[in-house]
A and B are shown apart, each in its own frame.
Chain A
């Protein structure tokens, strides 16, 4: 087992963690950095609840080994707005009922944020194609699509 001192930017702040090689990013975010907005659902890269943005790319934190993010810029749901504030996108989710039980919501928000950065004016089809990897077991997909399209118009 090797130990690694890993430095990355987390939500705009420089962070150094000392980790063993087999620590996944999702565990370091939740257990070491105490940012529990990133959830573990399937643990195999399918469900999207652990969506994070690494160097401006949407990825699954459950499939990333922490030593491989040395020097990266990482954003989680906690970093999208100031504490106590909501982004336009988050307000749109509230207004359109873009969540029910809420377990998938932080992943949905992070995925939608990455979409709007890559494509500021997505069509409904664009939203569906991009977000298909973020599962909602309450099946609230229509409201999620509505919320993202509305947020794009509002930006």
Chain B
């Protein structure tokens, strides 16, 4: 691993100082499962690394006055998986974090690091998009929020400006009766990245029609993908075998997968259709 200078500021202000000093070369280290690996493989060669671990206030999980969930950027996947608060808030969210990689990775990897790493095959982003999550971003002298659906810009690229740090993730309270699931296609092993994954949230009206729906997919494009056209096709309709098939066909049109070791683009396109159908079918058994 190439040499670098490492700083561990004790405050966010100290982290902003360090990022300014490091400039373009500075990388932020949260849990380390992504950055240490990339440095080890020589894919990222920073001369300056800013460790977040001593900064207080980034490890809490709480409920806001409006009833939303707020998760600090340094909360680990395992902490979210095991949190009674998150399980009560929306069990499928906790379950999604519990299905990431292995227990070792879940013990080390953080939600903030996961989002900034922006691997399109990662599990949490589709679920966070399907829950209308917002990402809280701090810079010297200010804070802004970016919706999870707008956060991912390209392969391993996010909408952060230089000097900005993700401090928390906010998730609005799920509307009463909202259902949700996260399914992933794992033909090789349970700890692998998904070939294709689908997060779905759905609210039915009293007549069984689709009041609202979110569909977001992983591993089907250079970023996590929100399937807005398929959502639109379902909204207001009864959820039946036919409307599910129609929505899944639209998803297959809108994905833009890459050929890789987990399958050809054409295969993943077909699997996106199949697993969208399964996700919706799980929420509304026919």
- A and B form one complex: yes
Q: Which residue of B lies closest to A133 (CB)?
A: B102
Chain B residues with CB under 8 A of A22: 1-4, 39
Flag if B105 contacts A21 (CB, 8 Å): no
Q: Which residue of B lies closest to A67 (CB)?
A: B6
Q: Which residues 28-76 of A sit at the B interface, judged by CB distance below 8 A?
A: 43-46, 48, 51, 57-60, 62-65, 67-68
Quick one: which of B1, B39, B190 contacts A132, CB cutoff 8 A?
B190
Q: Which residue of B lies closest to A21 (CB)?
A: B6
Tell me if A101 is interfacial: C-beta within 8 Å of chain B.
no
Flag if B3 contacts A58 (CB, 8 Å): no
Quick one: which of A1, A43, A68 contacts B32, CB cutoff 8 A?
A68
Minimum CB–CB distance from B43 to chain A (whole Å) comes to 11
Quick one: which of B7, B29, B103 contacts A58, CB cutoff 8 A?
B103
- Summed over the interface, the residue pairs from A and B with CB atoms below 8 Å come to a total of 83
- With an 8 Å Cβ cutoff, the count of chain B residues facing the other chain is 30
Chain B residues with CB under 8 A of A60: 33, 104-105, 108
Flag if B40 contacts A43 (CB, 8 Å): yes
Tell me if A2 is interfacial: C-beta within 8 Å of chain B.
yes
Flag if A45 contacts B189 (CB, 8 Å): no
Chain B residues with CB under 8 A of A91: none
Chain A residues with CB under 8 A of B124: none
Flag if B101 contacts A133 (CB, 8 Å): yes
How far is it, in angstroms, between the C-alpha of A24 and the C-alpha of B40 when the chains are bound? 9
Q: Which residues of B contact A (CB under 8 A)?
A: 1-8, 29, 32-33, 36-37, 39-41, 49, 51, 53, 78, 101-105, 107-108, 189-191
For this complex, 16 residue pairs linking A to B, each with C-beta atoms less than 8 Å apart, are: A2-B6, A21-B3, A21-B4, A21-B49, A22-B1, A22-B4, A24-B1, A44-B37, A44-B41, A57-B78, A57-B107, A62-B40, A63-B32, A67-B8, A129-B190, A132-B190
